[in-house]
Structure 1
Amino acid sequence: MLTADDVLRARFTATKFRDGYDQDEVDDLLDRVARTLRAREGGEPTTDPVTVAEIDAARFSVRRFTEGYDEVQVDALLTEVRATLVAPAVARPAAAPAPGSGAASGGAPGDVPGLLPSKPSSGWRRLFGR
């Protein structure tokens, strides 16, 4: 799953003597993708979100003998973007547990950091390990 930061950090090889996608067109779409993902990450609405249909229909002008972006690299990123948009939105991770609670402070065996602690078991279960 990509995050907005992943999209913003993406870099592509510049082409000059072979076909490449128009850099401005790619950058404009990826800026919208980053805004869309940032809104999803925060659970907030956004104006003009990018849809899966837009990713599927994305076509960029091809540049020859001027700098463009490597087509294969851009297409690979857009494939990842599409997979991220299709997947259900994932909310931001919950805040760290308060000191003195949960697995970090010796919670029940089997507790996993970031998840709710398991329900306390009865004395018989603790005694017999069931």
Structure 2
Amino acid sequence: MINNLKNIKSKIALILVASVVISCNPLKYTKSVLSSNADRIIVTGQVIDEDTGLAMPVVVISTIDKLRQTSTDKDGKYTLDITGCSQKLKAAWIGYHHIYTRNLKLKKGDTAVVNFKMKYDMRPLID
């Protein structure tokens, strides 16, 4: 019974991913596509601590589907290439609340600046 539930969950997850990919008309990530700046969609920004205002290095910035991700440098800055469909970005770091953006509606050649202010999470970590 448990194996059947796992199989059903796996099939549902695959169907959901397939439907998102089909509806977004994703870019094919090949050298020829990414080599042209006109075809790239670039999101840049910075992540800072909400309380101190200090830049936060090594914060993971990713799309919700986690197909594209990067991390911030020592100055809290990042650059991320994403696809042209509606995307939602997430900033995550241990000990801080995850931050999500609203959907970004971008198309080929667009650039966007998305900054994050992360708030310390007072809840204890659980093993």
Name the TM-score, length of structure 1 as normaliser. Answer: 0.24
Q: Which has the larger radius of gyration?
A: 1
Q: Give the alignment's TM-score, normalised by structure 2.
A: 0.24
Structure with greater strand percent? 2
